[in-house]
């Protein structure tokens, strides 16, 4: 009866009390509320919203449904970075080893691919043997030994979010500011952090493409972090084109490894340094962003960041040789060049079409239990604003068979728009959101 009354009230634009949200979450966890009722409530929330009190009540119900990591005895700052989801976004693979090599512990809890966006766990599992399903006790002891653990949301952390997240993925109820904020923050606040950095994407490939909505999400998460004693900084970054050149699990691991060796694409380096600087300052290892940047440059040029990635991979059961020889990653059977169909200016590289193309190639899921092919994807060398001539290679498709090549070519011809005039891409980094307010940082 409780669920029915709450669905009805939210459908009609009413407000749910804190104790009602808590009771409902507990009943859902016990299995006393059916998925179809919860799905109806989620849709009512997508359409009607939640106010701040309701959002915090939902977030706390999810947080308290599980365990928390107590890392207070590590003796160093503990900072995670979380992205709201993008295409080609391999920043976590760069930052976890880079920042943890500089004296800040990084308990990084990531997710799997969702809709057209990629997931760090899927990317890491391109490395043969790499275990992402660590228990909290294992993660804790690894953090003590090497200052970093790359884990998935285990059954122990925010189990109500885990259940709701799968339901949202299947019922078109992901795109809601309060639901995204409550979901992300319930997991992040369980990690025992002393600081949190959020990469909030905007642009056509983001879950919330509109800048005003992305900013609203960023401000809500920053304020939830503050209320719960975890200083939180959010940067708005562009997702109107993929980040870097590689899109697809193993291909992105390879690009992240090149970046750790100092040979990454400029946009990936710029976003990684901006987020990494926030992590190092929040973690108490750097006095300001300029000092943090210099520390990161040295960690990369000296090989220290790459060495830390080897240690993380070894600890988690993978083959660390991959850091020196990425060719041991899964390799696609078919590799074909895509050439520009006409001369002109690249007006768009549309990330949703690329993300959907990866799913069509078998590199993402249409159902939660789908097995994915880590080897497939795209490397796209053309950037918005580039002039290209007809017949010039602008991208490569990596597929498991010729049907995959055809699907990949179709995705590229949809994604890569070449015209007589370019479109002005979004600035890579545009806003910095802290508890003190919003700052424009267009670069």
Q: Least CB distance from residue 165 to ligand URA, whole Å?
A: 6
Tell me which of 168, 245, 310, 356 is the catalytic residue: 168
Residue 108 · residue 96 · CB < 8 Å: yes
Q: Name the residue nearer to ligand URA (CB basis): 46 or 312.
A: 46
Q: Least CB distance from residue 62 to ligand URA, whole Å?
A: 10
- Cα–Cα distance, 206 to 69 (Å, whole number): 30
Joined together, the tokens standing for residue 357 give 């193309």
Tell me the C-alpha to C-alpha distance, in Å, between residue 244 and each of 30, 177, 346: 43, 27, 16
Q: What is the CA radius of gyration of the chain?
A: 21
Helix (H) or strand (E) holding 337: strand 334-339
Q: Least CB distance from residue 55 to ligand URA, whole Å?
A: 12
226 is catalytic: no
Contacts of 107 (CB under 8 A, 6+ apart): 69, 71, 78, 80, 139, 143, 148, 149, 151, 191, 192, 193
Q: Name the residue nearer to ligand URA (CB basis): 165 or 398.
A: 165
Q: Name the residue nearer to ligand URA (CB basis): 94 or 180.
A: 180
Q: Least CB distance from residue 4 to ligand URA, whole Å?
A: 25
Q: End-to-end CA distance of the chain, in Å? A: 53
Q: Name the residue nearer to ligand URA (CB basis): 167 or 410.
A: 167
187 is catalytic: yes
- Give the bridge partners for 117, in sequence order: 114
Tell me which of 112, 187, 241, 310 is the catalytic residue: 187
Q: Name the residue nearer to ligand URA (CB basis): 152 or 326.
A: 152
Q: Least CB distance from residue 116 to ligand URA, whole Å?
A: 13
- Cα–Cα distance, 380 to 394 (Å, whole number): 6
183 is catalytic: yes
| Bridge-based pairing state of the strands 387-388 and 437-440 | unpaired
- Cα–Cα distance, 226 to 196 (Å, whole number): 10
Contacts of 216 (CB under 8 A, 6+ apart): 177
Contacts of 252 (CB under 8 A, 6+ apart): 88, 90, 93, 118, 123, 244, 246, 377
- Cα–Cα distance, 255 to 134 (Å, whole number): 25
Output the residue with the shortest Cβ distance to ligand URA.
Answer: 183
Q: Name the residue nearer to ligand URA (CB basis): 101 or 120.
A: 120
Tell me which of 80, 89, 161, 240 is the catalytic residue: 161
Question: Edge-to-edge, what's the strand order for the sheet holding 437-440?
Answer: 79-83, 195-202, 232-238, 429-434, 437-440
Q: Name the residue nearer to ligand URA (CB basis): 379 or 433.
A: 433
Backbone angles phi, psi at 247, to 5 degrees: -135, 115
3-class DSSP state for residue 131? coil
10 is catalytic: no
Q: Smallest Cα–Cα separation from 280: which of 105, 417, 427? A: 105
Q: Name the residue nearer to ligand URA (CB basis): 193 or 418.
A: 193
- Cα–Cα distance, 104 to 81 (Å, whole number): 12
186 is catalytic: no
Tell me which of 126, 183, 375, 430 is the catalytic residue: 183
Q: Which residues bind ligand URA (CB under 6 A)?
A: 84-85, 111, 165, 174, 179-180, 183-184
Tell me which of 10, 82, 258, 311 is the catalytic residue: 82
- Residues with catalytic roles: 82, 161, 168, 183, 187
């Amino acid at each position: 009866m409780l669920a029915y009354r709450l669905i009805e009230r939210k459908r009609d634009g009413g407000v749910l009390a804190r104790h009602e949200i808590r009771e409902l979450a507990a009943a859902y966890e016990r299995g006393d509320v059916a998925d179809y009722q919860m799905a109806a409530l989620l849709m009512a929330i997508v359409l009607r919203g939640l106010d701040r009190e309701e959002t915090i009540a939902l977030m706390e119900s999810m947080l308290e449904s599980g365990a928390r990591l107590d890392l207070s005895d590590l003796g160093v700052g503990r900072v995670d970075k979380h992205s709201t989801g993008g295409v080609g976004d391999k920043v976590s693979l760069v930052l976890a080893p880079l920042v943890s090599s500089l004296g800040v512990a990084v308990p990084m809890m990531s997710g799997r691919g969702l809709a057209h966006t990629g997931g760090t766990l899927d990317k890491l599992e391109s490395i043969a043997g790499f275990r992402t399903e660590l228990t909290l006790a294992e993660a804790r002891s690894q953090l003590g030994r090497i200052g970093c653990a790359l884990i998935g949301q285990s059954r122990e952390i925010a189990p109500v979010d885990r259940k709701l997240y799968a339901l949202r993925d299947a019922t078109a109820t992901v795109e809601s500011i309060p639901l995204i904020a409550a979901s992300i923050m319930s997991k992040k606040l369980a990690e025992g952090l002393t600081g949190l950095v959020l990469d909030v994407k905007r642009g056509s490939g983001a879950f919330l493409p509109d800048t005003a909505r992305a900013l609203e999400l960023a401000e809500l998460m920053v304020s939830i972090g503050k209320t719960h004693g975890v200083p939180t900084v959010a940067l708005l970054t562009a997702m109107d084109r993929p980040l870097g050149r590689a899109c697809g699990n193993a291909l992105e691991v390879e690009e992240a490894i090149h970046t750790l060796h100092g040979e990454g694409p400029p946009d990936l380096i710029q976003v990684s340094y901006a987020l990494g600087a926030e992590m190092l300052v929040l973690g108490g290892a750097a006095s300001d962003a300029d000092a943090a940047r210099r520390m990161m440059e040295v960690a990369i040029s000296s090989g220290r960041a790459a060495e830390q990635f080897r240690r993380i991979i070894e600890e988690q059961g993978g083959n660390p040789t991959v850091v020196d020889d990425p060719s041991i990653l899964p390799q696609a059977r078919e590799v074909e060049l895509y050439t520009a169909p006409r001369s002109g200016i690249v007006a768009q590289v549309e990330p949703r079409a690329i993300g959907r193309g990866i799913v069509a190639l078998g590199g993402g899921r249409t159902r939660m239990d789908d097995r994915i092919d880590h080897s497939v994807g795209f490397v796209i060398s053309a950037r918005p604003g580039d002039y290209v001539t007809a017949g010039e290679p602008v991208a490569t498709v990596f597929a498991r068979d010729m049907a995959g090549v055809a699907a990949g070519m179709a995705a590229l011809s949809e994604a890569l728009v070449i015209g007589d005039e370019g479109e002005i891409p979004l600035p890579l980094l545009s806003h910095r959101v802290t508890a003190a307010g919003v700052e424009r940082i267009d670069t």
